[in-house]
Every structure is written in structure tokens, then in C-alpha cells.
Structure 1
């Protein structure tokens, strides 16, 4: 067996595998569960959460003339006896919160 051929083949295989991994990781979305976990962690810093939800499919969204694929979801929390509801929009590829707004206050 020719050792040069063996090492050349091994090196090419490793480089090809690494390049493939990098290409796939750039096109992969963050899971909606991880996005919701991140948002809940941020909200829990200011008090307990009473409920949360997230759409499981990414959808198109435009903000300031930039197009994104996003997950939409919501958080409910109790603040001094009043139930506050928030809606969030998070980038599906990074998990970054792009928009957050308060929806309603329910007694």
C-alpha cells in the first residue's frame, strides 16, 4: 500500500467533511424550542412566567427593508396580580429577538 495515497485520501476526506459541515450549519435554523427557551430565560429575569407558546414553522418577515425567516410566539407573566401578555418575533437562523410588544393586560 502506498502511504502517500492513503494520507492524501484521508486529508481530502477530512477537508471535505469539514466544508460540508460548515455549509450545512449556515443553512440550518435554530429549533423553535431553543428560541422559546431563550426568550423565557430573558423574561424570567424580571419575574415568573405563567405561560408561553411558539409557532413551530418559520415564516417570512420584513423589518426595515430586511427580509428574515422568523418564529412568532408569546409569553404571559404575572406582574403585581395582573396578567401581562407579550408577543415576540425571533430570527429563525440565529434565535435573536427582532421584535417584542405588549399585547394586553388581563386581570
Structure 2
């Protein structure tokens, strides 16, 4: 095998991997669950430190009576004024916007 053929094969494989990665990112219109959780945690941290957080990694359908949207469900707990506060949320999987927030 010539070095030229080997380099050509490696370059072709690398180009194919980059193209597949770009196409797969365009096909999945949802943000990752971790990204959504990080955005929500950043907003909560503006008021008080966070003690814990969680998020389901799979989307589910959320219906508010007018529309249906794919959401990630999760929760956050924090200490506020010496008391533990817990919240559950439903965040839009496309934009990360919180559609529902419930204090437990």
C-alpha cells in the first residue's frame, strides 16, 4: 500500500465523519437535556445557591390546553432563608424556556 493511498483513505474517512456529525445535529432539533438544565440552574443561581438538581433525559409531550410541545421534566432544590425549597419544571426541548414551574 502506498502512503498516498493511506493518506487519501484517512482524509476521506475524516471528511465523512465531519459531514455525518453536522447532518445529525441538524436532524435533531432539540437541545440536550443537560443544556436545558444548565440554563435553568443559571437562572436559579441568581437568587440563591443550588443544593441539587435533576432532569429526565428523554422528552415527553406537554399539553397546556392550547398547544402540545416536547419538554424535559426536572427539578431543583435550594436553601432560601434557611429553608429548603424544591421546584419541579417542564422546559421546552427546543428553546429551553420553562413552560411550567411548580414549588413543592
Give the superposition deviation at 1:65: 1.9
Partner of 2:14: none
Partner of 1:65: 66
Q: 2: CA distance between counterparts of 1:27 and 1:90?
A: 17
Q: 2: CA distance between counterparts of 1:44 and 1:26?
A: 32
Gaps of 5+ in 2: 1-18
Aligned length in residues = 84
Flag as ranges the 4+ runs of structure 1 deviating above 6 A: none
Give the superposition deviation at 1:94: 1.2
Q: In the TM superposition, what whole-angstrom CA distance separates every residue of 1:61-83 from its partner, at most 9, and x where no partner exists?
A: 10132010100000000011110
In the alignment, structure 1 residue 34 sits paired with structure 2 residue 35: yes
Give the superposition deviation at 1:25: 3.4
Q: 1: CA distance between counterparts of 2:65 and 2:28?
A: 23
Normalized per residue, which structure has more strand?
A: 1
8 Å Cα contact 1:70/1:89 also seen in 2: yes
TM-score, structure 2 as length reference: 0.73
TM-score, structure 1 as length reference: 0.71
Partner of 2:91: 90
Q: 2: CA distance between counterparts of 1:60 and 1:26?
A: 19
8 Å Cα contact 1:27/1:93 also seen in 2: no
Gaps of 5+ in 1: 1-16
Partner of 1:56: 57
Q: 2: CA distance between counterparts of 1:28 and 1:95?
A: 12
